[in-house]
């Protein structure tokens, strides 16, 4: 160890108690599944963490029935003031158990403790706190004097922000008076199951929140169930499309938050050091496994060399390794399947003629890892410039004029997010207006807040999560 | 409407059989032909064509169909729009989207109000046409036209207000300026209901373009006649060509090409009465995640106050972040 190297600084995992096996959470109780079981794996080591119950279609049916029962007999009759207090309670318990949740999330997902501790879990608590306050103020939201709940919400969430996506789904649903059946991703169910315990601790009425674990089949059974009034999904565009077909012709209200291929545009007058930090956040936050990741860097031609030199230098300082180490910047890729996808797409990038670069970076032997990577000499037709990689891989393209930057940025079927870096205010505003994306970060990137609506244009889905706009998804308006 | 009839053939036959007969057919747009005492003046009839990109072409397919009154009286031949006409219309709507969505809300409001003005000036013509198409009394037809005019006025006033009621300055927990505001979705394919013939199509069209979208409007069956007359109003109201494109004919035929078209961003299925067909169009729309406004399950009362639901159905929300600092 050299004098400037870091000593290991692992967060203790003693705070979490991972059980050998987990059941479904239906009607306020943990109950066995009839669909068998699967294993959740620690992606940083490849070791199995626990056996997770797999919900079959009859299990999903039971969960929906429990949610319906709770909706009809309890939750729809619970005044907003009381719903608010339950949500405030949940927010407080999340804050109280924040470290436990952060450690468990890092273990199950592979993301660095620095992120779960400083970003994911604080935002989860904030989200519940925000929507708690809405529960008794819905008539002021602009949807008329007495906006009504929809009923039972079916919610399917991804593995990249397991607990945060749970919060984005459950908090507004409950605030608006719905009950929910939520299916976490099959690779990251543990924090959702801990959240079920938090619901018990908060004495949330039985059946208001139900959690069914399983893979795609469980999710498909849930969204297709005739007893649900609302479907909310975050995940891939391919699955979102399938869900849209499934609910077609029904009365189910649908919101979808899907893939992205965001452009992060850097003009020649941008503050280079800040832009480099922004680029690092945009593509290496959560190992790039972020739907709104700035996976296409559009740099103005005149500063390309200067910017890329600075970016490469900064990438050389990123620390990849144990997600529970407090100094880790880049954790593990969530699954072998996702690692295979990233590997395949980056191989295609090289085969199509783009130039690949990664800093010297030793990868752990066990688990699923991918070094931070940039591609230069990327053309708009390359797969790595068009397809969502969902990994720590940045494709660099160049432009000369604002018009060219807009044309390239919008040249994608996605429209979730975009970034702009320039010191010129009028240019920021004109770029922000012309970018066809639901979230535009100007001189910043990957910022989230419960009051700030998030969601896509075009094939990145529809509906918004967060703030006043996020209520609409769970109200009959 | 008698489906798939080649109207020109029919018309030719009719002329060959009894040339004078044409003169006695009711004109949708005006009073009956002259009284028997005076010399017969032949009505000058209108040719009903499509409205695409600000021009009035016939269907590229060369097809037309007969529009008849509820009692079977021949009213006119309307162009039977094809899949290719639908593609042309989408292309025109896409081409002018950035201009129309980028126009000021004030300008869009003035243009919508201008449409109301132009419609007001042709109240009698629309009342006669709606009356003959729907078989309505004069009073009922006039009431429908008035409601349609008022609907344009209602939406004209919304263009510079919907942005305010749908915007938010978000109090994020950090040093950031954070604002959300609505933007139009893009190219919207609208399936107007056949009844009420004028009010129905105005009720789906006006909110879509008020919000800044561009539109391809399918006016089904006999709704073709007021739709094409409305196109004449649109063409003289400073509305840029291509913002509204009107296809007349069969929703059943035009549904698939529009629902599948990858350059259409949203569908309004108001006029699709067959639930199974509406479902299949919604399924096709999923391919590029079109926003879909489903037909209401209960029969819609188009005379009711419309609210803002049809405006917000085709709006996206954009959120912009910027750091706050010295």
Report yes or no: A459 at the B interface, CB cutoff 8 Å.
yes
Alpha-carbon gap, residue A77 to B311, rounded angstroms: 32
Which of A147, A248, A278, A464 has the highest number of chain B CBs within 10 A, making it the mutation to test binding with B? A248
**pLDDT at res. A64:** 98
Alpha-carbon gap, residue B94 to B214, rounded angstroms: 7
Instruction: Identify the weakest region by mean pLDDT among A3-12, A381-390, A450-459, B317-326.
Output: A3-12
**pLDDT at res. A5:** 80
Report yes or no: B107 at the A interface, CB cutoff 8 Å.
no
The average confidence (pLDDT) of chain B is 91
B317–A438 CB contact, under 8 Å:
yes
Task: For residue range A10-41, list pLDDT tens digits in order.
Answer: 999 999 999 999 999 999 999 999 999 999 99
**pLDDT at res. B30:** 47
Given B172, B276, B297, which is nearest A449 (Cβ)? B172
Alpha-carbon gap, residue A144 to A180, rounded angstroms: 24
**Dihedral sign (CA A169, A171, A176, A177):** positive
Task: For residue range A264-303, list pLDDT tens digits in order.
Answer: 999 999 999 999 999 999 999 999 999 999 999 999 999 9
Give chain B positions within 8 Å (CB) of A437.
318
B321–A444 CB contact, under 8 Å:
yes
Which residue in chain B has the smallest CA separation from A144?
B307
Of B35 and A422, more confident: A422
Give chain B positions within 8 Å (CB) of A428.
322
**Dihedral sign (CA A287, A293, A296, A302):** negative
Alpha-carbon gap, residue A157 to A162, rounded angstroms: 7
**pLDDT at res. A316:** 97
Instruction: Give the mean model confidence (pLDDT) for residues B57-81.
Output: 98
Alpha-carbon gap, residue B127 to B97, rounded angstroms: 32
The helix/strand/coil state of B248 is strand
Point out the residues of A that are catalytic. 257, 291
Q: What is the 3-state secondary structure (H, E, C) of B32-87?
A: CCCCCCCCCCCCCCCCCCCEECCECCCCCCCCEEEEECCCCCEEEEEECCCHHHHH
Report yes or no: A439 at the B interface, CB cutoff 8 Å.
yes
CB atoms within 10 A of CB B312: 17
Alpha-carbon gap, residue A260 to B297, rounded angstroms: 34
Task: For residue range B220-269, list pLDDT tens digits in order.
Answer: 999 999 999 999 999 999 999 999 999 999 999 999 999 999 999 999 99
**pLDDT at res. B297:** 84
Instruction: Give the mean model confidence (pLDDT) for residues A230-241.
Output: 98
For residue A447, give Cα distances in angstroms to A247, A452, B182, B320, B321.
32, 10, 20, 11, 8
Task: For residue range A334-366, list pLDDT tens digits in order.
Answer: 999 999 999 999 999 999 999 999 999 999 999
The helix/strand/coil state of B291 is strand
pLDDT-derived band at B31 (thresholds 50, 70, 90) equals very low
**pLDDT at res. B299:** 84
Length of chain A measured in residues: 477
Residues 232-251 of A with CB under 8 A from B: 237, 240-242, 244-245, 248-249, 251
**Dihedral sign (CA B136, B138, B143, B148):** positive
B285–A464 CB contact, under 8 Å:
no
Which of A126, A145, A147, A245 has the highest number of chain B CBs within 10 A, making it the mutation to test binding with B? A245
Instruction: Give the mean model confidence (pLDDT) for residues B125-138.
Output: 98
> Is residue B201 within 8 Å of B217, Cβ to Cβ?
yes
DSSP state of B222: G
User: With 90 as the cut, is the pLDDT of residue B38 above it?
Assistant: no
A&B contacts, CB < 8 Å = 111
Percent of chain A with pLDDT over 90: 99
Alpha-carbon gap, residue B163 to A27, rounded angstroms: 42
Instruction: Give the mean model confidence (pLDDT) for residues A233-245.
Output: 98
pTM of the model: 0.94
The two tokens of residue B105 are 């809300």
A461–B172 CB contact, under 8 Å:
no
Residues 266-295 of B with CB under 8 A from A: 275-276, 278-280, 282-283, 285-289, 291-292, 294
Which of B162, B276, B319 has the highest number of chain A CBs within 10 A, making it the mutation to test binding with A? B319
A452–B287 CB contact, under 8 Å:
no
**pLDDT at res. A112:** 98
Alpha-carbon gap, residue B120 to B189, rounded angstroms: 26
What contacts B31, CB < 8 A, 6 or more positions away?
A: B128
Q: Which residues of A121-140 are buried (b: 16+ CB within 10 A; e: fewer)?
A: bbbbbbbbbbbbebbbebee
Give chain B positions within 8 Å (CB) of A282.
none
Give chain A positions within 8 Å (CB) of B318.
432, 437-440, 457
Report yes or no: A437 at the B interface, CB cutoff 8 Å.
yes
User: With 50 as the cut, is the pLDDT of residue B13 above it?
Assistant: no
Which residue in chain B has the smallest CA separation from A445?
B321
Given A126, A142, A447, which is nearest B165 (Cβ)? A142
Report yes or no: A432 at the B interface, CB cutoff 8 Å.
yes
CA distance B152 to chain A (A): 23
Of B3 and A379, more confident: A379
Give the ipTM: 0.97
Task: For residue range B279-291, list pLDDT tens digits in order.
Answer: 999 999 999 999 9
Q: Is the peptide bond before A360 cis (omega within 30 degrees of 0)?
A: no
The two tokens of residue A164 are 């945060």
Which residue in chain A has the smallest CA separation from B167?
A469
CA distance B297 to chain A (A): 9
Report yes or no: B172 at the A interface, CB cutoff 8 Å.
yes
What contacts A388, CB < 8 A, 6 or more positions away?
A: A236, A237, A259, A260, A261, A291, A295, A414
Task: Map tokens 């008022």 to a residue.
Answer: B150
B278–A444 CB contact, under 8 Å:
no
Give chain B positions within 8 Å (CB) of A469.
168, 180, 317
**pLDDT at res. B39:** 83
What contacts A323, CB < 8 A, 6 or more positions away?
A: A44, A106, A107, A109, A110, A111, A112, A113, A331, A332
B322–A455 CB contact, under 8 Å:
no
Task: Name the packing angle between helices A121-134 and A162-175 (round to 10°).
Answer: 10
> Is residue A190 within 8 Å of A43, Cβ to Cβ?
no
Instruction: Give the mean model confidence (pLDDT) for residues B160-183.
Output: 98
User: With 90 as the cut, is the pLDDT of residue B215 above it?
Assistant: yes
Alpha-carbon gap, residue B195 to B198, rounded angstroms: 8
User: With 60 as the cut, is the pLDDT of residue A209 above it?
Assistant: yes
A438–B319 CB contact, under 8 Å:
yes
A432–B318 CB contact, under 8 Å:
yes
The average confidence (pLDDT) of chain A is 97
CA distance A243 to chain B (A): 9
**pLDDT at res. A19:** 97
Which residue in chain A has the smallest CA separation from B317?
A438
Which of A229, A434, A449 has the highest number of chain B CBs within 10 A, making it the mutation to test binding with B? A449
């Amino acid at each position: 160890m050299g004098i400037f190297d870091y000593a290991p600084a692992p967060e203790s995992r003693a705070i979490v108690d991972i059980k050998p096996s987990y059941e479904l959470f239906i009607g306020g109780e943990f109950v066995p599944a009839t669909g068998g079981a699967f294993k959740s794996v620690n992606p940083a080591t490849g070791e199995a963490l626990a056996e997770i119950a797999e919900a079959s279609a009859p299990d999903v049916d039971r969960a929906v029935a429990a949610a319906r029962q709770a909706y009809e007999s309890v939750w729809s009759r619970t005044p907003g003031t009381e719903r608010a207090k339950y949500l405030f309670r949940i927010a407080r318990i999340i804050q109280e158990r924040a470290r436990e949740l952060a450690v468990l999330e890092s273990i199950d997902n592979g993301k660095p403790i620095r992120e779960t501790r400083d970003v994911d879990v604080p935002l989860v608590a904030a989200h519940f706190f925000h929507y708690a306050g809405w529960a008794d103020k819905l008539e002021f939201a602009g949807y008329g004097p007495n906006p009504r709940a929809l009923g039972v919400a079916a919610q399917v969430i991804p593995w990249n922000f397991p607990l945060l996506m749970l919060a984005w789904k459950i908090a507004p649903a409950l605030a608006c008076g719905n009950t929910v059946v939520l299916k976490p991703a099959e690779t990251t169910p543990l924090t959702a199951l801990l959240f079920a315990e938090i619901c018990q601790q908060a004495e949330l009425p039985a059946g208001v929140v139900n959690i069914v674990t399983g893979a795609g089949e469980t999710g498909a059974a849930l969204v297709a169930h005739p007893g649900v009034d609302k479907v909310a999904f975050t995940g891939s565009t391919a699955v979102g499309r399938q869900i849209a077909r499934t609910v077609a012709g029904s009365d189910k209200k649908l919101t979808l938050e899907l893939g992205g291929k965001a452009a992060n545009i850097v003009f020649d007058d941008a503050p280079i050091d800040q832009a480099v930090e922004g680029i690092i956040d945009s593509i290496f936050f959560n190992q790039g496994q972020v739907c709104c990741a700035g996976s296409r860097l559009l740099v103005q031609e005149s500063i390309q060399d200067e910017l890329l030199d600075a970016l490469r230098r900064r990438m050389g300082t990123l620390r990849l390794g144990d997600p529970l180490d407090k100094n880790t910047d880049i954790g593990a890729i969530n699954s072998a399947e996702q690692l295979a996808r990233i590997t395949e797409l980056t191989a295609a990038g090289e085969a199509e003629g783009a130039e690949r670069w990664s800093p010297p970076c030793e990868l752990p032997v066990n688990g699923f890892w991918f070094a931070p990577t940039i591609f230069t000499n990327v053309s708009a037709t390359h797969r790595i410039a068009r397809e969502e990689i969902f990994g720590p891989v940045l494709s660099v393209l160049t432009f000369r004029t604002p018009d060219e930057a807009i044309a390239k940025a919008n040249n994608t079927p996605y429209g979730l997010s975009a970034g702009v870096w320039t010191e010129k205010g009028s240019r920021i505003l004109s770029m922000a207006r012309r970018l066809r994306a639901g979230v535009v970060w100007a001189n910043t990137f990957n910022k989230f807040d419960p009051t700030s609506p998030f969601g896509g244009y075009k094939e990145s889905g529809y509906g918004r999560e967060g703030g006043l706009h996020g209520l609409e998804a769970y109200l009959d308006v | 409407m008698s489906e798939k009839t080649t109207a020109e053939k029919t018309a030719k036959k009719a002329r060959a059989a009894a040339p004078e007969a044409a003169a006695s057919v009711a004109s949708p747009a005006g009073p009956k032909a002259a009284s028997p005492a005076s010399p017969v003046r032949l009505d000058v009839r209108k040719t009903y064509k499509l409205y695409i990109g600000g021009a009035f072409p016939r269907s590229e397919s060369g097809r037309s169909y007969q529009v008849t009154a509820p009692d079977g009286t021949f009213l006119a031949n309307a162009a039977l729009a094809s899949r290719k006409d639908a593609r042309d219309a989408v292309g025109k709507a896409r081409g002018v989207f950035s201009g129309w969505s980028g126009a000021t809300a004030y300008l869009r409001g003035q243009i919508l109000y201008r449409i109301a003005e132009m419609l007001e000036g042709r109240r009698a013509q629309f009342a006669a046409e709606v009356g003959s198409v729907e078989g309505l009394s004069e009073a009922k037809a006039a009431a429908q036209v008035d409601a349609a005019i008022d609907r344009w006025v209602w939406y004209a006033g919304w263009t510079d207000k919907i942005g305010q009621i749908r915007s938010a300055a978000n109090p994020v927990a950090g040093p950031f300026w954070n604002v959300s505001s609505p933007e139009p979705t893009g190219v919207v394919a609208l399936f107007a209901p056949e009844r009420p013939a004028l009010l129905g199509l105005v009720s789906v069209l006006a909110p879509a373009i008020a919000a800044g979208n561009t539109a391809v409007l399918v006016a089904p069956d006999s709704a073709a006649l007021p739709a094409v007359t409305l196109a004449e109003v649109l063409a003289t109201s400073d509305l840029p060509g291509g913002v509204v494109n009107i296809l007349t004919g069969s929703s059943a035929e035009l549904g698939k090409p529009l629902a599948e078209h990858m350059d259409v961003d949203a569908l309004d299925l108001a006029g699709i009465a067959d639930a199974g067909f509406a479902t299949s169009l919604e399924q096709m729309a999923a391919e590029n995640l079109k926003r879909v406004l489903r037909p209401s399950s209960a029969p819609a009362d188009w005379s009711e106050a419309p609210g803002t639901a049809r405006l917000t159905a085709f709006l996206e929300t954009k959120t912009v972040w910027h750091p706050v600092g010295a």
